[in-house]
Structure 1
Amino acid sequence: MKTRLKNALVTTRNAARSIPGKVAMIGVGTIATASAAMASDAGGSAASAAFKSLQDQGSSMASEAWPVVTAIVGSLLAIGLFKKFANKAT
């Protein structure tokens, strides 16, 4: 049993030294982390509620920003038209 564990450790260490081995270890670690995160129901519902709250806040901020954006764009268009007609008049 000890030699198997030692051999597995040596194999893992050798694989971690090469670029493809590092990529494989990162991939396996990512998949394991994602699987563990998806497996927990308690954390998922809290995260879901947090993202829903964040989405609601973003929507309310966007709806408050539209009047300001339209005013700025309208004023820039008016300034551009004024300059155009002023240059033609002179």
Structure 2
Amino acid sequence: MPAPMKYDWPVAEAAFVYAPDGEPYVTLKTISMQFGIPYQTVRRYAAKRNWTEKRINYICPLRIKEQLRKTNNPYVAEALRERLKCYKSRQKHTFG
């Protein structure tokens, strides 16, 4: 039987990756303080598991959808839809 995890990494990762986009901005330092994990430990763990890339791939499509709702220009809307397709394709590869 594997040893129990010292820290709740899945919850810490979700708190960082799926944090709302806005103020206050969630950082690795925030996660460190919130979960009582040393900052360098969080930084290394997050880097090894691509937390920042996952966060970007989660937040950017939300921003694009918000821009789509606001635009009245059909050319801008089409360009935004194309960008959204790229992120959706990237998410399939990142999240499985």
Q: TM-score, normalised by structure 1?
A: 0.32
Greater RCO, 1 or 2 (C-alpha within 8 Å, sep 6+)? 2
Structure of greater Rg: 1
